[in-house]
Amino acid sequence: MKLLDTVEVETGPQPKSTVIWLHGLGADGHDFEAVVPELVRPGERALRFVLPHAAMRPVTINGGMSMRAWYDIVSFDRHAGQDESGIRASAAAIHGLIRRENERGVPTERIVLAGFSQGGAMALFTGTRATEKLAGIIGLSCYMLLGSTLAAERSDVNQTTPIFVAHGTRDPVVDVRLGEETRRMLEETGYSVTWHRYPIPHSVSPEELTHVATWLRRVL
């Protein structure tokens, strides 16, 4: 499988840890490039941020227009069918990025898988099913994909991996109730979840980034 194209930012020489950050629907790897300085203070331990571009694909809810997307979204109805083949193909591509970090000397236990919106959904899906232990998983303004398969497919090795989940209470795109449902599902499956709500729309806030930065310092 061809590796995803990526944007990379290293916050210092010879980083020993990596954050793989997945963008939302229709964006690309540059979308969160500007927040990296908000997450790592000058002089702190060096981190490598790997910001991949999702593949171009037609997206049904956008009239079949082709755009960067981790999977197709067929309907705004949360009970509609999900693009299982697209989700699993993207998860495999994300695992390819994890393996490349391993080859560059960063063990999986020093990697955080993070994402926003569609990317956050992919981070949660891929991280809970990963067969090597991650340092942490972050899902911002997102929801659980293929939730009915979580109990059967989750990997015991990441059962104790810290998970950061956050959502805006004014989100008109992904209702905050989906974030709360995701939190409950993770907790009921035995995961350790850090949960935050912010009075924001479908976006990230300075306060949220401060909380993410503090959490990253703890897990890395």
Listed by start position, the domains of the chain span 6-219
- The one catalytic residue in 17, 90, 117, 141 is 117
Cα end-to-end distance, the chain, whole Å: 29
Pairing of strands 56-59, 65-68: antiparallel
Once rounded to an integer, what is the mean pLDDT over residues 16-34? 98
Dihedral angle computed from the Cα positions of residues 138, 112, 216 and 206, in that order, rounded to the nearest 10 degrees = -50
Verify whether residue 28 is a known catalytic residue: no
Place of tokens 């509609």: 80
Question: Is 2 a residue whose pLDDT tops 90?
Answer: no
> What's the confidence (pLDDT) of residue 139?
98
Once rounded to an integer, what is the mean pLDDT over residues 93-103? 98
CB–CB of 119/23 below 8 Å? Answer: yes
Q: What percent of the chain clears pLDDT 70, i.e. is strictly above it?
A: 100
Question: Is 16 a residue whose pLDDT tops 90?
Answer: yes
Verify whether residue 77 is a known catalytic residue: no
Fold of domain 6-219: Rossmann fold (3.40.50)
> What's the confidence (pLDDT) of residue 12?
95
Is the pTM for the entire model greater than 0.95?
Answer: yes
CB–CB of 220/45 below 8 Å? Answer: yes
The angle, 0 to 180 degrees and rounded to 10, between the axes of the packed helices 118-129 and 84-103 is 70
> What's the confidence (pLDDT) of residue 51?
98
- The one catalytic residue in 202, 203, 205, 211 is 202
- The one catalytic residue in 28, 31, 72, 171 is 171
Question: Is 77 a residue whose pLDDT tops 90?
Answer: no
> What's the confidence (pLDDT) of residue 76?
74
64 contact partners, CB below 8 Å, separation of at least 6: 58
Mean confidence (pLDDT) of the chain: 96
Encoding tokens for residue 36? 């990296």
Verify whether residue 203 is a known catalytic residue: no
